[in-house]
């Protein structure tokens, strides 16, 4: 049987992690995988998470199963963080999942269970796991144009033109904030226009929210998304705690479903519960328990928010610094968009040969589409990156 297996395509981002690790050069710079790093190049355990972990260690008396939907105090804390008051709590149901990826997978399966005919519309480009998971599940997909290669900003007219082709009942996958891989995001007016289109055409929003708090702040980052979710009868959100709680390896996420009425909500709840059971039974508890402890304690929550703000403003400083250095090194405004982008990533719009040269000649690693993780930049790496970019372009 095993010999019948076909080689599977590798994840390019994860393959790049291996290439970087194997590079013996001093001063190499890793702008590849989307993991936050502080000024010392470390990915810290957040203070409030560490404190919650100490409390959990003391207080936990059993490792018995929790429930198919996970820890409901976690799900409720996440509903609050993600949706605020934009949607009445009794219209929402949710399941704890292993990471944001787990939430995407469970919600994609829910789409297929509910309506196997639905096409899922994906931004071009998007996070490669979106099309990969949907293809694996045999869910039809279509792309909508999103990124303007000339300006490195959103091509909103093209996006709207493409979404006009969607049929009633189709699903639109949107990045809630901090678009991966481009860093280019919709503004509030554009979210409003998307809301009008979704309502007019009867589409169903599916929001992937993996970076809340990494752009303009915990609340500002979700303003547009909340406007949309508050206006539509049905929607889904896959939220990740990997980045904003720094819980990557503990695998913490939530799948939220917004329903028009109680009966539909309970159908969705039953489907989420059943999908958790069919795929892995009970979701992993540890990281979700930490989020629940942290979010339900005023002091820990305040400290978490303060540290998240430090991370966010640090990344913003790197952005403005890099935009300035690129202006100087290239003697042009070509890269000014770096300062306007938000989140961990910016797609620089470099040709593949330039990305390769940066790696081979300058030991600077970025994803093949020229996506950089801004948090991977050491403070003294701004000038080096800018000068290297200028060199490979000349």
Q: Is 208 a catalytic residue?
A: yes
Q: Is 123 in the site for ligand PLP (CB under 6 A)?
A: no
Instruction: Tell how strand 235-240 and strand 253-258 pair up.
Output: antiparallel
What is the nearest approach in angstroms of ligand TYF to the Cβ of residue 128? 7
**Residue 269 buriedness (CB in 10 A; 0-12 / 13-18 / 19+):** middle
Among 155, 180, 244, 346, binds ligand TYF (CB under 6 A): 180
User: Is residue 237 within 8 Å of residue 80, measured between CB atoms?
Assistant: no
Q: Is 266 a catalytic residue?
A: no
Q: Is 34 in the site for ligand PLP (CB under 6 A)?
A: yes
Query: Applying CB under 6 A, which part among 6-14, 58-66, 305-313, 315-323 lies near ligand TYF?
Result: 6-14
Which residues lie across from 122 on neighbouring strands?
A: 143
Rounded Cα gap, residues 347 and 184, in angstroms: 8
Core vs surface per residue 208-247: b (16+ CB within 10 A) or e: bbbbbbbbbbbeebbbbbbebbbbbebbbbbbbbbbbbbb
Nearer to ligand TYF, 11 or 262 (CB): 11
Q: Encoding tokens for residue 6?
A: 């076909």
List the one residue out of 55, 66, 102 whose CA is nearest residue 240: 102
Q: Is 243 a catalytic residue?
A: yes
Q: Which partner from the list ligand TYF, ligand PLP, none does 253 bind, CB cut-off 5 to 8 Å by kind?
A: ligand PLP
What is the nearest approach in angstroms of ligand PLP to the Cβ of residue 266? 27
Residues in the chain: 394
Q: Which partner from the list ligand PLP, ligand TYF, none does 208 bind, CB cut-off 5 to 8 Å by kind?
A: ligand PLP
SS3 content of the chain, % helix, strand, coil (to 5): 50, 15, 35
Nearer to ligand PLP, 101 or 119 (CB): 101
Q: Is 13 in the site for ligand TYF (CB under 6 A)?
A: yes
Nearer to ligand PLP, 100 or 283 (CB): 100
User: Is residue 271 within 8 Å of residue 94, measured between CB atoms?
Assistant: no
Q: Is 19 in the site for ligand TYF (CB under 6 A)?
A: no
Among 20, 121, 127, 156, binds ligand PLP (CB under 6 A): 127
Rounded Cα gap, residues 17 and 153, in angstroms: 27
- Which residue is at the shortest CB distance from ligand PLP? 99
Among 73, 86, 115, 129, binds ligand TYF (CB under 6 A): 129
Query: Applying CB under 6 A, which part among 11-19, 90-98, 297-305, 383-391 lies near ligand TYF?
Result: 11-19
Rounded Cα gap, residues 117 and 122, in angstroms: 16
Q: Encoding tokens for residue 390?
A: 């200028």
- H-helix segments, the chain: 12-22, 47-59, 72-83, 99-114, 129-136, 156-163, 188-201, 223-231, 262-280, 286-295, 298-330, 337-340, 352-362, 381-393
What is the nearest approach in angstroms of ligand PLP to the Cβ of residue 371? 11
Q: Is 37 a catalytic residue?
A: no
With vertex at residue 225, the alpha carbon angle to CA 219 and CA 227, rounded to the nearest 5 degrees, is 95
Q: Which partner from the list ligand TYF, ligand PLP, none does 215 bind, CB cut-off 5 to 8 Å by kind?
A: none
What is the nearest approach in angstroms of ligand PLP to the Cβ of residue 182? 11
Q: Which of 51, 52, 239, 243 is catalytic?
A: 243
Q: Which of 121, 127, 191, 304 is catalytic?
A: 127
Q: Is 253 in the site for ligand PLP (CB under 6 A)?
A: yes
Binding footprint of ligand TYF on the chain (CB under 6 A): 11, 13-14, 33-34, 127, 129, 180
Binding footprint of ligand PLP on the chain (CB under 6 A): 34, 99-101, 127, 180, 208, 210, 240, 242-243, 248, 253
Catalytically active residues, by annotation: 127, 208, 210, 243
């Amino acid at each position: 049987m095993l010999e019948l297996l076909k080689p599977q395509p590798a994840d390019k981002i994860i393959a790049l992690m291996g290439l970087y690790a194997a590079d013996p050069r001093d001063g190499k710079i890793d702008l590849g995988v989307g993991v936050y790093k502080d000024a010392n190049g470390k990915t810290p355990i957040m203070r409030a998470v560490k404190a919650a972990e100490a409390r959990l260690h003391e207080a936990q008396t059993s490792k018995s199963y929790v429930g198919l939907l996970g820890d409901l105090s976690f799900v409720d804390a996440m509903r609050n963080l993600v949706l605020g008051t934009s949607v009445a709590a009794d219209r929402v149901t949710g399941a704890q999942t292993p990471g944001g990826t787990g939430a995407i997978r469970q919600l994609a399966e829910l789409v297929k269970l509910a309506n196997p005919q639905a096409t899922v519309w994906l931004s071009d480009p998007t996070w490669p796991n979106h099309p990969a998971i949907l293809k694996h599940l045999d869910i039809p997909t279509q792309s909508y144009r999103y990124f303007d290669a000339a300006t490195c900003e959103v091509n909103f007219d093209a996006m709207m033109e493409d979404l006009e082709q969607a049929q009633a009942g189709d699903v639109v996958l949107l990045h809630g904030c901090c678009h991966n891989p481009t860093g280019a995001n919709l503004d509030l007016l554009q979210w409003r226009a998307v809301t009008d289109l979704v309502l007019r055409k009867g589409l169903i929003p599916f929001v992937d929210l993996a970076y809340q708090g990494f752009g303009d702040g915990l609340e500002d980052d979700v303003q547009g998304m909340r406007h949309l979710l508050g206006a539509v009868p049905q929607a889904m959100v896959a939220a990740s705690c990997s980045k904003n709680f720094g819980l990557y390896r503990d695998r913490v996420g939530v799948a939220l479903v917004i329903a028009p009425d109680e009966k539909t909500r309970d159908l969705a709840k039953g489907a989420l519960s059943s999908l958790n059971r069919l795929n892995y039974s009970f979701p992993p508890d540890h990281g979700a328990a930490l989020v629940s402890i942290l979010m339900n304690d005023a002091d820990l929550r305040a400290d978490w928010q303060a540290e998240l703000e430090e991370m966010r403003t640090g990344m913003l400083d790197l952005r403005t610094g890099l935009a300035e250095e690129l202006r100087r090194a290239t003697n042009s405004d070509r890269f000014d968009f770096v300062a306007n982008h938000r989140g961990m990533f910016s797609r620089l719009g470099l040709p593949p040969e330039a990305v390769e040269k940066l790696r081979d000649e300058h030991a600077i690693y970025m994803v093949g589409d020229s996506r950089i993780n801004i948090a991977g930049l050491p403070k003294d790496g701004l000038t080096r990156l800018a000068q290297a970019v200028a060199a490979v372009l000349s």
